[in-house]
Chains A and B, each alone.
Chain A
Amino acid sequence: GDSVTQMEGPVTLSEEAFLTINCTYTATGYPSLFWYVQYPGEGLQLLLKATKADDKGSNKGFEATYRKETTSFHLEKGSVQVSDSAVYFCALSDRAAGNKLTFGGGTRVLVKP
């Protein structure tokens, strides 16, 4: 079945540091890929997405590129802020599986001033 593996946290960074969160996936079909963010006490928010190979999703300074050859969708941001402190979830949606989302375990990011 489909699965998503992402690096475990917590990841602790200083403000303006570079952030990378690794995500790899397995899927029976040709999935769409997502990053969701969950701020403390809030629900899941879609951060960015990519629907086909080599697509780059971007939003709020975050980027991720759909790499079919390495089955990866790593999240990056060049200069993090304290407000980026949150839990980040990588997820896939597979049309062959009814388009339901399969999530990774989440990576907690803490940015210190």
Chain B
Amino acid sequence: DTGVSQDPRHKITKRGQNVTFRCDPISEHNRLYWYRQTLGQGPEFLTYFQNEAQLEKSRLLSDRFSAERPKGSFSTLEIQRTEQGDSAMYLCASSPQGQGGSYGYTFGSGTRLTVV
């Protein structure tokens, strides 16, 4: 068990460019969550998957954001036409199916995005 891995750790991009982040959850975890954390704030829910199915998307996830988990293993989060307001830490977490409430969640170290 190597924990939840996120790549890259840091990304600096110019406004208007597209970026893609990757998350590798703990292998036996069915559920995968994406959160966004801005400076001085708590993480905010973006979306989550159960296996390959995307079950919920937050209203925070505009049309420029898309997430996939094609084989129920790793997931990608893509932001198109980035804006300065997208600058944040993007966190991924995983948990066993239906057990997040009692198990807790394992978080990755996050990808820090800076849009210049």
Residue in B45, B91, B102, B104 whose Cβ sees the most chain A Cβ within 10 Å: B104
- Which A residues lie within 8 Å of B95 (CB)? 99
Docked pose: A43 CA to B109 CA in angstroms: 4
Q: Which residues does A use to contact B, with CB under 8 Å?
A: 4, 31-32, 34, 36, 42-46, 49, 51, 89, 91, 93-95, 98-106
Docked pose: A22 CA to B64 CA in angstroms: 37
B33 within 8 A of A: yes
Residue in B42, B48, B56 whose Cβ sees the most chain A Cβ within 10 Å: B42
B107 within 8 A of A: yes
- Selected A-B contacts with CB under 8 Å, 6 pairs: A44-B43, A89-B42, A91-B42, A99-B101, A103-B43, A105-B40
Q: Which residues does B use to contact A, with CB under 8 Å?
A: 31, 33, 35, 40-45, 48, 55-56, 91, 93, 95, 98, 100-102, 104-110
Given known contacts A93-B101, A98-B56, is B31 in contact with A45 (CB within 8 Å)? Answer: no
Given known contacts A98-B56, A99-B98, A101-B33, is B104 in contact with A46 (CB within 8 Å)? Answer: yes
Name the residue on A nearest B47 (C-beta): A100
Given known contacts A93-B101, A95-B101, A100-B56, is B42 in contact with A105 (CB within 8 Å)? Answer: yes
Evaluate contact between B42 and A43: CB separation under 8 angstroms.
Answer: no
Docked pose: A31 CA to B104 CA in angstroms: 12
- Which A residues lie within 8 Å of B56 (CB)? 98, 100
Q: How far is the CB of B62 from chain A (nearest CB, A)?
A: 19
